[in-house]
Amino acid sequence: MFDEAKLHQFIGQMLGDLGGAASVAMVRIGDALGLYKSLHSKGPMNSGELAAAVGGSERYIREWLAQQAASNYLAYDPQTRKFSLPAEQAMVFAVEESPVYLMGAFDLMASMVENQPKVEAAFRTGGGVAWGDQGTCMFCAVARFFRPSYHNHLIGAWLPALEGVVAKLERGATVADVGCGHGWSTVMMAKAFPNSHFVGYDFHPASVEAARAHATAHGAGGNVTFEVGTAKDFAASGLDLVTFFDCLHDMGDPAGAAGHVRRALKSDGTWMVVEPMAGDTVEANLNPVGRLYYAASTMVCVPTSLSQDVGTALGAQAGEAKLREVITAGGFGSVRRATETPFNMILEARP
């Protein structure tokens, strides 16, 4: 026995979900060929005009345009037979500095699908998948996904929410950005605070190389360096500020990392822990953000942590209460939620 109305409703949901999944490749082609950016800069076009603008095949672009209009990613005018990118959709697909630029999220979806065989095998054994063994450029996707949020919030909102930190950074402070990945957060801070010195650490050598290249390409000065180092053995000490952006929950031994950070900080130093937004219970996370983050957690974060010593596997939806436990286990006396966005919570830990 089943309820026909509920079945119809659920099939409706599935159509939407499958349409989203089918759009991953479509959106990434639109990005790779500059289709969104061309529509954004040149205005409404038909398939021939867009093909000429980007130097691509009209027949493929005609099909792509129709799928994008059916997805409400583009608008279609039957009178002129032209397609356009509305301003709101442009913020998601074309404007890299926008706070809601989501192209990195589409890259991440593709990396997660690519990761399936390795993670599926780990489901059977309970083992991990090392960060460096994940999908072809999982690291690039992650860096691209987080960058818009850091670009729009880090300097103007997150650092000012920490007690006394901006004044120290303006005077000249020593900072370690741990688990820095491709280093966007480190480069942004180094450019904003030229009197301070920043070291980005990550245990993944290829990410450290990419971070060095980004620093050079984006004109960061001599106040930023990148080194290979784990969260439990990075070399810096006597630090005013340590930052962890979206990485504490990925670590095998987050409590061990907390202890090392505590020892590396000055007695009046600050540890900024940026973590995915989450409630403390499963039921609090049964929402669209939790849906995405539980998937990323299953495919990326849990396998990464389980591949390391201890293998705590906090998961990307650990929630503030669990994070507090880990941070205080490292010897921190106070933990406060300094600020938040719909996707992130920013915790301030003090010795």
Q: Contact positions toward ligand SAM, by CB under 6 A?
A: 131, 142-143, 146, 179-181, 185, 202-204, 207, 230-231, 245-247, 250-252, 304, 308
CB atoms within 10 A of CB 216: 10
Residue with the CB atom nearest ligand SAM in the bound state = 181
Task: Measure the CA–CA gap between 97 and 152, rounded to whole angstroms.
Answer: 8
What minimum distance in Å lies between the beta carbon of 293 and ligand SAM? Answer: 11
Residue type for position 45: M
What minimum distance in Å lies between the beta carbon of 341 and ligand SAM? Answer: 14
If the CB atoms of residues 36 and 201 are measured against ligand SAM, the closer one turns out to be: 201
Residue in the structure block whose two tokens are 């300097």: 155
Q: Are 272 and 348 in contact (CB under 8 A)?
A: yes
**Per 3-state DSSP, what percentage of the chain is helix, strand, and coil (rounded to 5)?**
55, 15, 30
DSSP character for 311?
-
What minimum distance in Å lies between the beta carbon of 334 and ligand SAM? Answer: 23
Q: At what angle do helices 138-153 and 103-125 cross, to 10 degrees?
A: 130
If the CB atoms of residues 30 and 303 are measured against ligand SAM, the closer one turns out to be: 303
Q: Which of 150, 143, 188, 152 minimizes the C-alpha distance to 169?
A: 188
Q: Are 93 and 27 in contact (CB under 8 A)?
A: yes
What minimum distance in Å lies between the beta carbon of 23 and ligand SAM? Answer: 24
If the CB atoms of residues 180 and 190 are measured against ligand SAM, the closer one turns out to be: 180
Q: Kindly give, in sequence order, each residue whose CB lies less than 8 Å from that of residue 93, ignoring residues fewer than 6 positions away.
A: 27, 30, 31, 36, 40, 73, 85, 101, 102, 103
If the CB atoms of residues 107 and 202 are measured against ligand SAM, the closer one turns out to be: 202
What minimum distance in Å lies between the beta carbon of 6 and ligand SAM? Answer: 37
Dump strand ranges (E) for the chain. 75-77, 82-84, 174-178, 197-202, 224-228, 239-245, 265-276, 334-340, 344-350
Task: Measure the CA–CA gap between 101 and 34, rounded to whole angstroms.
Answer: 15
Q: How far is CA 122 from the centre of its chain?
A: 23
Strands 334-340 and 265-276: unpaired
**E strand or H helix at 209:** helix 205-217
If the CB atoms of residues 64 and 101 are measured against ligand SAM, the closer one turns out to be: 101
If the CB atoms of residues 47 and 308 are measured against ligand SAM, the closer one turns out to be: 308
Q: CB-side exposure of 274: number of CA atoms within 13 Å?
A: 25
If the CB atoms of residues 30 and 252 are measured against ligand SAM, the closer one turns out to be: 252
If the CB atoms of residues 50 and 273 are measured against ligand SAM, the closer one turns out to be: 273
If the CB atoms of residues 254 and 269 are measured against ligand SAM, the closer one turns out to be: 254
